[in-house]
């Protein structure tokens, strides 16, 4: 992640220099993610996804027990929390016994971040990432190098099911802002040469920029598109409404991050004329699932166990995750705030891991700007919320946005600045910003939290 100084400098660079700077950052990521250990893990994962039910269960039992003991012995929070709840670890013999452990909520971590890091690791040597804040509570996550490699190996194993490799050229509809708002002429994309990918500035996708984007896509080959489905949908809808065509099709589109409705997916499929695949994961790396060829989400049993508990009258169930892929900061029986629809029968693809037909609850609204842009991935702004327990973006009127914040005791005026800065960076200056400090943020009628709410008709 760039700091404020390098970011300001980057914004002043001409296009070729910005490409070099994006690529150099890409080189750093490439070295961190795709080393020999990654390659080794990926090959191993491609074999273990075909394990039998017995092997899968055996693997989950052994690793869940290991991480619980590791957490109790080296993570201060778990030691005192389990003691407080009278947990007897001897009684936890397999994954069925996990239900005897209390459920971990995000705000516990938020209140005690230092207490969650295992004493087996030096904090300074760990890799720090911020969660995107889709559930309204941004977190700092610390990972080991090994965990980063495993996480990326799990991502790429899912992509490999569709013939993709890390060398394939891709177009990213991501959260980063490669092009500043003041920049009103093409190119609206920047290159990361080391990872063979191009970042499109999703905040620049509009009726005005559409001809340039279409020309670029039709003249450049991509193996796949990847990123926020809501951003890809926004582009697809503009293409359809303007009766344009994409001739140069990628092989597949990979969705990550947020969710969209099935009618929106259908529109993307029609406009781009290619299959879609989805991956479910989170920065905490507590649980991940990837689509198979038959469009079911398979639990990545090599690093997690996912419990689900029914909510009244709905097929969709609350997901509780236990992950053992990151010894530096283990998440045990973690309520991540997402929901999924489990399928009891086996998948016809032949993999024996538990499956879900859909993941629900990550549906975010767009923020609409007065100049007609639909901004996606705006939950990314919320990760800059400091000293907040919960945070939400709410748009009631076209010219105004409200930040609803449940502050902690340290919250002050200065904490508004990064939120304003990050919002302006994406939306520009046409929208007024209002802050509401509240005791509680209202959930939807189904009891879910929505990080971004818009009441503007789309
Ligand atoms: Zn399958």
Q: 266 CA to middle of ligand 1, Å?
A: 21
Reduced to 3 states, what is the DSSP secondary structure of residue 309? strand
Residue pLDDT, tens place only, 194-248: 999 999 999 899 999 999 999 999 999 999 999 988 889 889 999 999 999 999 9
Residue 311: alpha-carbon gap to chain centroid: 24
Q: 417 CA to middle of ligand 1, Å?
A: 46
Kindly list the distances between the CA atom of residue 118 and the CA atoms of 66, 185, 331, in Å, as whole numbers in the listed order.
14, 48, 11
| pLDDT (average), residues 169-184 | 87
Q: 98 CA to middle of ligand 1, Å?
A: 26
Q: 344 CA to middle of ligand 1, Å?
A: 12
Q: 406 CA to middle of ligand 1, Å?
A: 41
Give pLDDT, residue 50. Answer: 98
- Residue in the structure block whose two tokens are 């003041």: 182
| pLDDT (average), residues 27-51 | 97
36-158+280-360: CATH number: 3.40.50.12780
Q: Is the pLDDT of residue 86 over 60?
A: yes
Q: Where are the domains of the chain?
A: 4-33+163-274, 36-158+280-360, 367-454
367-454 falls under which CATH superfamily? ANL, C-terminal domain (3.30.300.30)
Q: 157 CA to middle of ligand 1, Å?
A: 13
Give pLDDT, residue 4. Answer: 73
Contact 74, 118 (CB under 8 A): yes
Give pLDDT, residue 94. Answer: 95
Q: 62 CA to middle of ligand 1, Å?
A: 24
Residue pLDDT, tens place only, 390-439: 889 999 999 999 999 988 888 999 999 999 999 998 888 899 999 999 98
> pTM for the complete prediction?
0.84
Q: Please tell me the class of the 4-33+163-274 domain.
A: alpha beta
Q: 41 CA to middle of ligand 1, Å?
A: 21
Residue pLDDT, tens place only, 90-107: 999 999 999 999 999 988
Q: 301 CA to middle of ligand 1, Å?
A: 13
Q: 365 CA to middle of ligand 1, Å?
A: 30
Domain 36-158+280-360 and domain 367-454, same fold? Reply is no
Q: Name the residue among 422, 435, 430 with its Cα closest to residue 394.
A: 435
């Amino acid at each position: 992640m760039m700091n404020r100084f390098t970011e300001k400098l980057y914004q002043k660079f001409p296009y070729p220099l910005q490409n070099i700077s994006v690529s150099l950052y890409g080189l750093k990521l490439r070295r961190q993610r795709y080393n020999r250990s990654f390659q080794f893990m990926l090959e191993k994962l491609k074999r273990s996804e075909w394990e039998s039910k017995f092997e899968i269960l055996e693997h989950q039992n052994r690793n869940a027990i290991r991480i619980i003991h590791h957490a109790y012995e080296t993570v201060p929070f778990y030691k005192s929390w389990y003691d407080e709840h009278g947990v007897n670890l001897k009684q936890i013999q397999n994954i069925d016994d996990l239900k005897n452990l209390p459920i971990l909520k995000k705000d516990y971590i938020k209140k005690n971040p230092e207490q969650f890091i295992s004493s087996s690791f030096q904090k300074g040597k760990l890799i720090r990432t911020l969660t995107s804040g889709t559930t309204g509570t941004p977190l700092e996550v610390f990972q080991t190098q090994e965990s980063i490699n495993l996480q990326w190996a799990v991502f790429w194993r899912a992509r490999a099911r569709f013939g993709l490799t890390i060398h394939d050229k891709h177009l990213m509809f991501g959260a980063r802002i490669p092009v500043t708002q003041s920049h009103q002429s093409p190119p609206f994309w920047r290159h990361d040469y080391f990872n063979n990918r191009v970042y499109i500035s999703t905040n620049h996708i509009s009726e005005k920029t559409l001809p340039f984007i279409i020309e670029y896509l039709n003249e450049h080959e991509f193996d796949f598109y990847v990123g926020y489905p809501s951003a890809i949908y926004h582009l697809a809808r503009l293409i359809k409404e303007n009766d344009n065509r994409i001739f140069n099709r990628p092989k597949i589109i990979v969705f990550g991050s947020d969710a969209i409705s099935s009618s929106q997916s259908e529109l993307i499929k029609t406009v781009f004329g290619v299959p879609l695949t989805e991956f479910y994961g989170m920065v905490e790396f507590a649980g991940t699932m990837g689509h198979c060829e038959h469009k079911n989400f398979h639990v990545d049993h090599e690093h997690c166990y996912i419990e689900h508990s029914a909510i009244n009258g709905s097929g969709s169930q609350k997901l509780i995750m236990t992950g053992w892929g990151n010894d530096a900061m283990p998440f045990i029986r973690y309520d991540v705030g997402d929901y999924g629809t489990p399928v009891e029968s086996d998948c016809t693809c032949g993999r024996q891991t538990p499956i879900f037909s859909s993941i629900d609850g990550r549906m975010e609204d767009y923020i609409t700007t007065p100049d007609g842009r639909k901004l996606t991935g705006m939950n990314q702004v919320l990760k800059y919320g400091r000293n907040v327990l919960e945070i939400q973006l709410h748009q009631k009127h076209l010219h105004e946005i409200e930040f609803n914040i449940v502050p902690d005791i340290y919250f002050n005026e200065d904490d508004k600045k990064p939120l304003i800065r990050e919002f302006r960076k994406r939306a520009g200056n046409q929208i007024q910003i209002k802050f509401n400090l509240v005791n509680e943020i209202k959930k939807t009628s189904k009891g879910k939290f929505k990080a971004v709410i818009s009441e503007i008709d789309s």
